[in-house]
């Protein structure tokens, strides 16, 4: 089962790599700690952020969405009996800017930077040519 989940996460990360620009050149959407493996990446659905975590049950795990200034915007708690899980943060109501997803399980902490930006609307221009 672990191999299957790892394969799915790898496939999703590779397939979304062409659609999402990293927040910074050194950012990494995956994290491996002593108690969990996590991947944070954009969804195919606009304004959704996927969070995948693979772990053995045993400790409470908390996933936090914070603003650049550290304000808590969303919190997802996972009980100690639950193993692997996936969920999405809905970021549709957030303004453009820098955010971070923080995953905490006991002493293990990983931080994933996220940049939210809206592409400007493109105006359509047409050229008329007479032959």
Residues 6+ apart with CB under 8 A from 98: 23, 67, 68, 113, 114, 115, 116
The predicted structure's pLDDT at residue 130? 82
The predicted structure's pLDDT at residue 2? 55
The predicted structure's pLDDT at residue 111? 93
- Per DSSP, the three-state class of 128 is coil
Both structure tokens of 27: 């950012």
Q: How far apart are CA 128 and CA 97, in angstroms?
A: 40
Q: What is the pLDDT along the chain (131 residues), one digit of tens a residue?
A: 555 555 555 555 444 443 444 333 345 578 889 889 999 999 888 889 999 999 988 889 999 999 999 999 999 999 989 989 999 999 899 999 999 999 999 899 999 999 988 888 888 887 777 87
8 A C-beta contact, residue 98 and residue 114: yes
Q: How far apart are CA 36 and CA 105, in angstroms?
A: 8
Both structure tokens of 102: 């923080």
The predicted structure's pLDDT at residue 7? 52
């Amino acid at each position: 089962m672990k191999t299957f989940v790892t394969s799915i996460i790898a496939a999703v990360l590779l397939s979304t790599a062409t659609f999402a620009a990293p927040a910074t050149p050194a950012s990494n959407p995956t994290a491996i700690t002593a108690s969990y493996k996590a991947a944070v990446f954009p969804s195919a659905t606009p304004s959704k952020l996927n969070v995948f975590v693979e772990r053995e049950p045993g400790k409470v795990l908390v996933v936090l969405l914070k603003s650049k200034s550290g304000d808590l915007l969303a919190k997802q708690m996972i009980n100690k009996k639950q193993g692997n899980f996936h969920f999405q943060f809905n970021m549709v109501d957030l303004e453009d800017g820098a955010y971070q997803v923080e995953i905490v399980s006991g002493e293990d902490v990983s931080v994933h930077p996220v940049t939210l930006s809206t592409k400007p609307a493109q105006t359509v221009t047409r050229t008329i040519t007479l032959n």
